[in-house]
Structure formats: structure tokens, C-alpha cells
Amino acid sequence: MKNIKGPALFLAQFAGDDAPFNSWDEITRWAAGCGYRGVQIPSWDTRLFDLAKAASSKDYCDEISGIAQANDIQITELSTHLQGQLVAVHPAYDEAFDGFAVPEVRGNPSARQAWAVDQVMLALQASQNLGIQAHATFSGALAWPYVYPWPQRPAGLIDTAFDELARRWKPILDRADECGVDVCYEIHPGEDLHDGVTFEMFLDRLQGHSRCNMLYDPSHYVLQHLDYLDNIDIYHERIRMFHVKDAELNPTGRQGVYSGYQNWVDRAGRFRSLGDGQVDFRSVFSKLAAYDFDGWAVVEWECCLKHPEDGAREGARFVSDHLIRVTERAFDDFADGGTDEAANRRMLGLEH
């Protein structure tokens, strides 16, 4: 069996304009001080990381890795969540998502998509330069406005959407294969890949592409009332990344899964700091360990109540307390009788 690595921290929710969150050296030193051993980089945040330079310069990647290592931190993965979202955008969301792109392609959906594809391609090359084998992203969404079938969806609408989604991602996944990097889609409401069924629909259209994999985050399954432990049993061979994030779903007579357009603090379903929600992380870590998951346990802090720095420090301790150092021998080895094949056959009555 293999050991899960950790704890690590996704830096997207912490990067900012003030020290220690505004430079690579300071934020990695801060993360180590909180108890983390690794960090996941939001590739779009130029205060911390130059994606284009990382894709073109192994020396730059060595410099970035060296700074992290000097602060006792490893780089776990790169993320293109924002850029991946723009690989596929339904027109209803054009304006809402335009801010994820650079100014020169805003207001131009085709130019924005081309830019997004190039960004993910750069991140794959940068991952290779950094010696990283997994990459985090979103699938984007063409069919999400039609997730609830009213009015009745026209025949073939969802098939057309997923055909197109697969067509857009196939060249990226092929490039990922050349780079030796798994593309791990965070299964997330708002994305066309938002549960196991939709992931399978996508994977089928890609003929089971080996680089098409999952980022497992149980919080998104709690908020959908989906069995997040059974999900591991079903998809463990495709789970290559792990976000450790907590959530709670407390439906009432007034609201349920959809939460009535309320702000986060007033929703029936909301994200919480680790240990404050409903995810059974002891079972999650146990299942992942049993299936030989040896990636990083990456804290993605999101909470509608707690201060992020408190959540970060508590999260490092929480993950450390849940990591399982897998055993190298069976607990009942002390009772091993030292039998051999001949003895086994005699015990079964196969030799007289």
C-alpha cells in the first residue's frame, strides 16, 4: 500500500496584495509556518507565478522550486480552474466569466476560448518542467443552463453539448499525454462534469482517454446529496487529485439543495472549514489509502464563517491527524503458521 502525501494548501484563496500573501517566497514561508508541506499554485496569479515563463524556461521552474524547497515546501500541482472554465462557456455566462480572461480577449468568445486553451497547454508544459504529474482544472460548461429539464430539453441537446466539450478537450488531453501529466477535472456544480454520470458521458466520448481523470472533493458531493464514499469505490482508478474541503447540507421546509439564491451564510448547503461540516473524513482517508492513492491531500479552504488564516492553520493540523501511515504487515502475522503449498493441500483434503 501507498501513503497519501500532505498536508498541502491550495493558494488561490490566500494570495493577495499584502504581505505575506503577495510574493512566492513569503507565501510559501507562511504556508510552512502553518504546518504545510506542499502548496498547489493558482497559475493565473502573477503575484506568485509566471505561467508563460514556467512553460518556456526550465531554469525559472528550478528557481521557483528552489525557493519553495528553501522554505520546506513542495509544489504539488498547478491549477487552471479559471482558464479551464473558459474552454467551454455557454453564451448566458459570457459576461460573468469574461473577467477570468486577459483584457485583450474579453468580449470576444472565440478569442477568449483560444486564449484559455493556450493557457492550459502552457500549464501542462510548465508541469512537465516542474516534474509534476497531475494538473487541476475545470471542464467548463455548455449544458449547465439546462441542468433541470424544464422546459423539456430538445432531443439530442445534451449529446451535442458533450460531443463539443470532448472535441475541445481532446487536443489538450493529447498534449497532456505528451507531457506525462494527468488532467484532473474538479467535479463541481456549474461545470458540465458535475457528478459521476456526466464524467462518464465525457470519458466515453474520449474513448477512455488515459489522461482524463478526476479531482475528488467530497464537499461538492455533500451539497448535491451524492454518496461521496461510494464515489471513491466507483472511480478510484480515475481519482488522481484530492481537495480536502468540508461542507454541510441542512435542508429545511424553506430551502434545500438549490438554497433559494441566498448568500453563502444563509444557504442550506454551504462550505465550512475542516471539521466544522458533515464530511466523514476518517472514512474518506481510509478508502483512499485502501485504494493506494498516493497523491497529495490539498486543503482548499472555503468557509462562510471562519477567518481564512484560522482555517488554514486548523486545516494543516486536521489533515495531519487524518493521514494514515499504511501498514507494511498484517496485524495477525504473529499467528502465521508458516505453512507451504503441500500443507495447504493437506488442509483442504486434496492429498491422501
Task: Please provide the average confidence, as pLDDT, over all residues in the chain.
Answer: 96
Spatial CA neighbour of 68 closest among 123, 8, 124: 8
297-312 pLDDT per residue, tens = 999 999 999 999 999 9
Return the pLDDT at 345: 85
Q: At what angle do helices 109-130 and 157-179 cross, to 10 degrees?
A: 30
At residue 51, the 3 state secondary structure works out as helix
Q: Which CATH architecture has domain 5-347?
A: Alpha-Beta Barrel (3.20)
Residue 344: pLDDT above 90? no
Taking the C-alpha atoms of residue 320 and residue 8, their distance in angstroms, rounded to an integer, is 10
131-169 pLDDT per residue, tens = 999 999 999 999 999 999 999 999 999 999 999 999 999
Return the pLDDT at 2: 87
- Indicate the length of the chain as a whole number: 352
What are the structural domain ranges in the chain? 5-347
At residue 284, the 3 state secondary structure works out as helix
Report angle CA 2, 299, 270 to the nearest 5 degrees.
125
Spatial CA neighbour of 146 closest among 201, 91, 187: 91
User: Measured in whole angstroms, how far is the alpha carbon of residue 259 from the centre of its chain?
Assistant: 24
Return the pLDDT at 330: 65
Taking the C-alpha atoms of residue 203 and residue 162, their distance in angstroms, rounded to an integer, is 10
Residue 352: pLDDT above 70? no
Instruction: Mark 108-132 as b/e (b = at least 16 C-beta within 10 Å).
Output: ebeebbebbbebbbbbbbbbbbbeb
177-234 pLDDT per residue, tens = 999 999 999 999 999 999 999 999 999 999 999 999 999 999 999 999 999 999 999 9
32-56 pLDDT per residue, tens = 999 999 999 999 999 999 999 999 9
Taking the C-alpha atoms of residue 69 and residue 37, their distance in angstroms, rounded to an integer, is 10
Residue 334: pLDDT above 60? no
Spatial CA neighbour of 136 closest among 79, 75, 177, 76: 79
Query: Which cell numbers in the block locate residue 107?
Result: 468580449
Q: Which residues contact 80 (CB under 8 A, 6 or more apart)?
A: 43, 44, 119, 120, 123, 135, 136, 137, 138
Return the pLDDT at 247: 98
